[in-house]
Amino acid sequence: MQAIAHVNRVFRDKPGGLIVDYVGFLYDLKYAMANYTRSGGRGSPADYKAEAIALILEKYEIVQDMFYGFDYRRIFSSSPKEKLTIVREGADFILSQG
């Protein structure tokens, strides 16, 4: 939530930020924020910890399946320049499957 709040923070002439929901968590985030707001900021985010972990693991498996046949693990031992190339190659790999 902090990353989104930081992006969406207004400053000087900036009216707000753009939040892009790549994974589909935006609905769940809005629900969590509504609960947090209703409780006056005293809600317990740990209440949904097991559900959040299960959801993240499910999404991770989906993404891992999407990259089947692409060696994405090499990004962990690459230089910054090579990482950018691997990210581009990964995007091309995913787009070529559609």
- Give the span between the Cα atoms of 60 and 70, in whole angstroms: 15
Is residue 54 located within the same domain as residue 6? yes
Q: What is the mean pLDDT of residues 65-72?
A: 92
Q: What is the pTM for the complete model shown?
A: 0.47
Instruction: Please name the amino acid found at residue 36.
Output: Y
Q: Are residues 57 and 89 in the same domain?
A: no
Higher pLDDT: 97 or 26? It is 97
Residue among 44, 8, 50 nearest 26 (CA): 8
Q: What is the CA radius of gyration of the chain?
A: 18
Same domain for 47 and 12: yes
Whether residue 31 sits in one domain with residue 52: yes
Same domain for 35 and 49, yes or no, is: yes
Examine the pLDDT at 87 and tell me if it is beyond 90. yes
Asked whether residue 30 carries a pLDDT value surpassing 90, the answer given is no
For all residues of the chain together, what is the average pLDDT? Answer: 79
Do 34 and 72 lie in one domain? The reply is no
Ramachandran bin of 50, using left for φ above 0, alpha for ψ from -120 to 50, beta for the remaining angles:
alpha
pLDDT grade, residue 70 (50/70/90)?
very high
- Over the stretch 17-28, which tens digit does the pLDDT of each residue have? 555 556 667 777
Q: What is the pLDDT of residue 43?
A: 60
Show the domain range for 3. Answer: 1-66
Q: Under a CB-based contact definition with an 8 Å cutoff, are residues 19 and 7 in contact?
A: yes
> Are residues 59 and 72 located together in one domain of the fold?
no
Whether residue 53 is found in the same domain as residue 93: no
Q: Are residues 5 and 36 in the same domain?
A: yes
